[in-house]
Chain A
Amino acid sequence: MLRASTNPNAMAKNQPTTDTKPATEPVKLRATKKITVAGCTIAPGKVFSAHPDKASEMISAGAAVLVEPSF
């Protein structure tokens, strides 16, 4: 008869994993007005990539919109 494993490592494998690591992959944005980013002046329509924190800042300020959803 099969018995439940008592190996703590095996049990740990079965635990649902929660990824708490913050996203650091750059996200793609499109500028909606003339702004300065990374020491460059960019015009509306320019697509660029930024760190998610920087992206949130710019989206909140209405300076850019997301081009692609980030997963």
Chain B
Amino acid sequence: MSYIARTRKILPNAFLFFVETGTEITSGDPPATITIDALAKPATEPADNWTSRPCTLELDIMREIQEEKTLCPRETGGWGTETDYDLIGVKLSFTDKTQSEHFERLLWVLPAKVEETEPQIPFTGSPSIEGWLKIVERDRTGADIVYCDLYGKLTLTGGTKVEGKPTRPQFTFEVLMSTALNSWMAPV
């Protein structure tokens, strides 16, 4: 997308996809097997390697920036404050329209993926799910404007309240900054 196009007023929406760490992908001729983790990320195609997440109502990209103020000498005399900004972490917060397997597993801290009619012991699993999150932002004309793949940990921000209105699960995704496979791209 050109610089001019980027200066237009846009109303992006976002679609999220997830692939969990530990997922095994066998493909190729002759075949090779890859176990997904921070050092291995599936390509966009085939799409069935990724789980489509529920409709995203809100997506907030929260950068944690540390400020450091230093008193430096001025060339013209005297002293002045200089500020350095360091990015020390990134968290994404998003709200789903509907419940999902992720929601149930994290709410009840289940030790395994939810399978229908398969009993599990609650509160014995991990309160986070590690994996790759793919974000596709699209403008109002249907053109993709951002592709972003991030590795991190997915947690449920709040619980759920049984009341007379639909539950809107809210999640936090903490990005692991150290993997070299995190990627961001603006499609042409």
Contacts and interface: CB of A to CB of B under 8 A. Distances in A.
List 7 tightest A-B contacts by C-beta distance, closest first: A51-B30, A50-B32, A46-B39, A38-B27, A43-B39, A40-B34, A54-B30
B28 A38 contact: yes
Interface string A32-65: 0010111111110110111111100000000000
Contact of A41 (B26, B37, B43): B43
Contacts of A42: 34, 39-41
Interface of B: 25-28, 30-43, 45-46, 49, 179-181
Contacts of A50: 30-33
Given A46-B34, A52-B30, 20 more contacts: A26-B31, A26-B33, A34-B180, A36-B43, A38-B25, A38-B27, A38-B28, A39-B43, A39-B49, A40-B25, A40-B34, A40-B42, A42-B40, A42-B41, A43-B39, A43-B179, A51-B32, A54-B30, A54-B31, A54-B32
Contacts of A34: 180
> Which of B31, B37, B45, B180 is the most central at the interface, judged by chain A CB atoms within 10 Å of its CB?
B31
A37 B35 CA distance: 11
Nearest to A49: B33
A24 to B, nearest CB: 9
B40 A39 contact: no
Nearest to A54: B30
> Which of B33, B34, B38, B40 is the most central at the interface, judged by chain A CB atoms within 10 Å of its CB?
B34
A33 to B, nearest CB: 11
B32 to A, nearest CB: 4
A68 to B, nearest CB: 15
A60 to B, nearest CB: 14
B34 A37 contact: yes
Contacts of A48: 32-35, 40
Contact of B25 (A26, A39, A43, A51): A39
A49 B46 CA distance: 20
A50 B51 CA distance: 25
A42 B25 CA distance: 12
A41 B40 contact: yes
Nearest to B35: A48
B37 to A, nearest CB: 8
A46 B28 CA distance: 18
Contact of B40 (A26, A43, A49, A51): A43
A10 B46 CA distance: 55
